[in-house]
């Protein structure tokens, strides 16, 4: 048991663009690999519906915008009629429970593998590769990564069109909005980070230029579906996929200040402490060292507060290692407006209820995060079912 949070700010309404939530417990995007042929499997609607709650927001797993967007084996897309039809089942099931669902739009850039893209070479800001990269989600199992090709202006133009098509398809499939994935070292982050983006044209060489493509994508998606249905995700402090901006606050501060002018539904940030490869304590030590190197205080490097100050007009969702004990602090200090939970939402389909009532969490089993079928997917019980 932990303290019931039902009478705290976590369970107060929040407006994000065109939707008004009844509580601030958000499901984070989570890759689950249950989409054979890139189409959500028959039971994907059940998984999301189990996690839906009245007035609660779910963000879908990262979903490819096109074949060149990466087409990871087992990962869904949102660009074909079959994908649209399958996702419609999910959005209907979530809405039936009074919930909301956004679709996370994903292009993985240089992290992709030709084996998933008809032999085509992955595209990125520059012709780079991740040292020793292994791509796990291919039909042949893990394969060594390859070097990407630098995107031409034509590639950039087509990719913006792909984002727009995917956003429109998501809305047609019944999603309440889309989240542009500009985090975790995937394509848009490959433009933001100056250790990856080596361009000397209008898409590289300065903070403004490196922000150009992510903002062009955002603007095109806004023009297609409206800013009140568009969110965007950043991980300014992330090192995943070899991201290392030499000026974290300058680079991400600029792109977020631009986002703040656009009236987006929300900005979604990954907490500095949270890392896809390392423990929270290892990550915090790395950031302390980086603070010294970039002339920042530990306080600046270990919190999202500097970005909250920039996002004056935009609701802010924060994500990364949140639980029943540490969720209130960002809300009460006004550092964030909502909290996204990932791993605990996998093993606790009724997570908002458990947080509200102070009920124990079921532990998650990492071994079934990326397997196929229902095991570890739709078979985690609610608290009430577990106690029957
Ligand atoms: C992953 O599938 O490992 C993954 C997907 C999206 C992210 C991060 C990691 O943003």
Q: Which helix (H) or strand (E) holds 46?
A: helix 44-51
Cα separation of 67 and 64, whole Å? 7
For residue 107, the Cα-to-chain-centroid distance in whole angstroms is: 11
What is the DSSP secondary structure assignment for residue 262, as one 8-state letter? T
C-beta neighbour count of 224 within 10 angstroms: 17
Rg value, the chain, Cα: 20
Continuous H helices in 232-361: 248-260, 280-293, 298-302, 305-310, 328-332, 343-347, 351-357
pLDDT at 126 over 80: yes
Give me the pLDDT at residue 381, please. Answer: 98
Cα separation of 383 and 385, whole Å? 6
Q: Which two tokens stand for residue 56?
A: 């609660």
* CA atoms within a 13 Å half-sphere pointing along the CA-CB vector of 348: 24
Give me the pLDDT at residue 277, please. Answer: 87
Residue 94, CA distances (Å) to 41, 60, 133, 176, 266 in order: 16, 11, 36, 11, 20
Mutate to test the pocket of ligand 1, among 184, 232, 319 (most ligand atoms within 8 A of CB): 184
Mutate to test the pocket of ligand 1, among 70, 130, 276, 370 (most ligand atoms within 8 A of CB): 276
Give me the pLDDT at residue 362, please. Answer: 97
Give me the pLDDT at residue 196, please. Answer: 98
Give me the pLDDT at residue 15, please. Answer: 98
Q: b or e along 23-41 (b: 16 or more beta carbons within 10 Å of the residue's beta carbon)?
A: bbbbbbbbbbbbbeebbbb
Q: What is the pLDDT of residues 336-350, one digit of tens each?
A: 999 999 999 999 999
Q: What is the pLDDT of residues 27-57, one digit of tens each?
A: 999 999 999 999 999 999 999 999 999 999 9
C-beta neighbour count of 9 within 10 angstroms: 17
Q: Provide the β-strand partners of residue 143.
A: 135
- Cα of 59 vs centre of ligand 1, distance in Å, is 13
Give me the pLDDT at residue 241, please. Answer: 95
Q: Which helix (H) or strand (E) holds 171?
A: helix 153-172
Report, as an integer, the average pLDDT of 110-138: 96
Q: Is 186 a catalytic residue?
A: yes
Q: Which atom of ligand 1 is nearest to the CA of 233?
A: 10
User: What whole-number percentage of the chain has pLDDT above 70?
Assistant: 100
197 and 210 Cβ atoms separated by less than 8 Å: yes
Cα separation of 15 and 312, whole Å? 15
Cα separation of 214 and 255, whole Å? 8
- Cα of 25 vs centre of ligand 1, distance in Å, is 20
- Cα of 251 vs centre of ligand 1, distance in Å, is 22
Give me the pLDDT at residue 1, please. Answer: 72
Q: Which atom of ligand 1 is nearest to the CA of 186?
A: 10
Mapped onto helix, strand or coil, the DSSP state of residue 184 is coil
Give me the pLDDT at residue 358, please. Answer: 97
Mapped onto helix, strand or coil, the DSSP state of residue 319 is strand
Residue whose CA lies nearest to ligand 1 atom number 7: 184
Give me the pLDDT at residue 73, please. Answer: 96
Give me the pLDDT at residue 163, please. Answer: 99
C-beta neighbour count of 65 within 10 angstroms: 29
The sign one gets for the Cα dihedral 63, 48, 215, 302 is: negative
pLDDT at 388 over 90: no
Residue whose CA lies nearest to ligand 1 atom number 10: 184
Q: Which atom of ligand 1 is nearest to the CA of 137?
A: 2
Give me the pLDDT at residue 364, please. Answer: 97
Give me the pLDDT at residue 231, please. Answer: 99
| Residues contacting ligand 1 via CB (< 6 Å) | 31, 62, 183-184, 276
Mutate to test the pocket of ligand 1, among 62, 63, 340 (most ligand atoms within 8 A of CB): 62
Report, as an integer, the average pLDDT of 306-314: 97
Among candidate residues 47, 163, 186, 341, the one labeled active-site is: 186
Report, as an integer, the average pLDDT of 231-239: 98
Residue whose CA lies nearest to ligand 1 atom number 1: 31
Give me the pLDDT at residue 276, please. Answer: 87
Q: What is the pLDDT of residues 62-109, one digit of tens each?
A: 999 999 999 999 999 999 999 999 999 999 999 999 999 999 999 999
Q: Which residue has the tokens 């423990």?
A: 279
Report, as an integer, the average pLDDT of 271-286: 93
- Cα of 384 vs centre of ligand 1, distance in Å, is 31
Give me the pLDDT at residue 117, please. Answer: 97
């Amino acid at each position: 048991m932990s303290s019931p949070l039902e009478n705290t700010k976590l369970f107060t309404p929040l407006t994000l663009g065109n939707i008004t939530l009844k509580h601030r417990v958000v499901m984070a995007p989570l890759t689950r690999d249950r989409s054979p042929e890139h189409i959500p499997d028959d039971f994907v609607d059940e998984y999301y519906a189990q996690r839906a709650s009245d007035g609660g927001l779910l963000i879908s797993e990262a979903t490819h915008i096109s074949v060149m967007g990466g087409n990871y084996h087992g990962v869904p897309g949102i660009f074909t009629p079959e994908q649209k039809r399958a996702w419609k089942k999910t959005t209907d099931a979530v809405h039936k429970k009074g919930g909301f669902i956004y679709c996370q739009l994903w292009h993985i850039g240089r992290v992709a593998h030709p084996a998933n893209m008809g032999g085509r070479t992955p595209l990125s800001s520059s012709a780079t590769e991740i040292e020793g990269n292994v791509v796990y989600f291919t039909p042949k199992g893990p394969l060594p990564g390859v070097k990407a090709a630098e995107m031409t202006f034509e590639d950039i133009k087509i990719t913006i069109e792909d984002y727009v098509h995917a956003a429109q398809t998501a809305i047609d499939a019944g999603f309440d909005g889309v989240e542009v994935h500009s985090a975790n070292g995937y394509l848009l982050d490959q433009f933001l980070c100056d250790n990856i983006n080596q361009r000397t044209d209008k898409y590289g060489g300065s903070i403004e230029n490196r922000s150009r493509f992510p903002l062009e994508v955002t603007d095109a998606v806004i023009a297609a579906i409206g800013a009140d249905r568009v969110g965007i995700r950043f991980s300014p402090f992330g090192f995943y996929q070899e991201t290392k901006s030499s000026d974290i606050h300058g680079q991400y501060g600029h792109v977020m200040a631009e986002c703040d002018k656009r009236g987006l539904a929300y900005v979604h940030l990954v907490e500095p402490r949270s890392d896809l490869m390392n423990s929270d304590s290892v990550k915090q030590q790395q950031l302390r060292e980086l603070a010294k190197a970039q002339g920042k205080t530990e306080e600046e490097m270990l919190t999202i507060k500097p970005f909250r100050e920039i996002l004056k007009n935009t609701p802010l969702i924060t994500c990364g290692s949140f639980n029943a004990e540490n969720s209130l602090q960002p809300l009460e200090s006004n550092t964030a407006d909502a909290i996204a939970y990932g791993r605990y939402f996998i093993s606790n389909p009724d997570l908002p209820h458990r947080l509200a009532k102070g009920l124990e969490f079921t532990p998650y089993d990492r071994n079934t995060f990326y397997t196929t079928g229902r095991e570890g997917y739709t078979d985690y019980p609610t608290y009430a079912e577990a106690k029957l």
